Amino acid sequence: MGKRKGLWSPDEDERLRNYIVKHGHGCWTSVAINAGLQRNGKSCRLRWINYLRPGLKRGAFSMAEEDTIFTLHKVLGNKWSQIAQHLAGRSDNEIKNYWHSYLKKRVAKMEVDKSPNLSLPKLFFADWLCLDQDLGHTSNLEDHTCLFDDIHIPIHHFPPQFNTFSQP
The tally of domains found in the chain comes to: 3
The answer on pLDDT for 81 being more than 60 is yes
Asked whether residue 120 is domain-assigned, the answer is no
pLDDT surpassing 90 at residue 100: yes
> Is 3 contained in some domain?
no
Q: Hey, what amino acid is at 121?
A: P
**Domain carrying residue 132:** 128-162
For the cut 90, the answer to whether the pLDDT of residue 106 exceeds it is: no
| CA 36 – CA 54 distance, rounded (Å) | 21
Residue 113 is predicted with a pLDDT of 67
Residues 105 and 136 occupy one common structural domain? no
> What pLDDT, in 10s, does the model give residues 39-50?
999 999 999 998
Residue 5 lies in a domain: no
Mean pLDDT across the stretch 124-139? 38
Q: Are residues 41 and 81 in the same domain?
A: no
Instruction: Say if residue 67 is in the same domain as residue 110.
Output: yes
Q: What span, in angstroms and rounded, lies between the C-alpha atoms of 15 and 72?
A: 37
Q: In what order do the strands lie in the sheet with 129-131?
A: 129-131, 145-148, 151-154
Residue 68 falls inside a structural domain: yes
- Examine the domain organization and report whether 47 and 67 are in the same domain: no
Same domain, 93 and 132: no
